Amino acid sequence: MQIAPPDFDRLFGALSDATRRDIVRRAIDGGEGVAELAGHYSMSFAAVQKHVAILERAGLITKERVGRRKVVRTNLEALRVARRLLDQYEQLWRDRVERMTTLLAESGKETDR
């Protein structure tokens, strides 16, 4: 079975909203349904459902029917994928800063001569 590469635009787009990041955080324990999650926010149930749908399309959460409830759970692997990409960007920039620092140090030695 081939796994599709993550849609980073969708993933980070979903995480760009503070409410959705909070839903992802709350859903790590996987104990609350959509109705319980909605109780934490000063917005309509429908608005929370839309946030949950965006997170679900991005692969950041899953919904599982438990009796009459739809329990929301964070997909930890999706968060790990996002983290790995951010780590790669961080390393890229650290390497660039290190190279610039080296070049500046070398340039300063040449002007001292």
pLDDT at 97: 95
CATH number of 8-112: 1.10.10.10
Q: What is the pLDDT of residue 113?
A: 62
DSSP states of the chain: -PPPPP-HHHHHHHHTSHHHHHHHHHTTS---BHHHHHTTSSS-HHHHHHHHHHHHHTTSEEEEEETTEEEEEE-HHHHHHHHHHHHHHHHHHHHHHHHHHHHHHHHHHHHH-
In the chain, where are the structural domains located?
8-112
pLDDT tens, N- to C-terminus, the chain (113 residues): 334 456 888 999 999 999 999 999 999 988 899 999 999 999 999 999 999 999 999 999 999 988 888 899 999 999 998 888 889 889 989 999 999 999 998 887 777 66
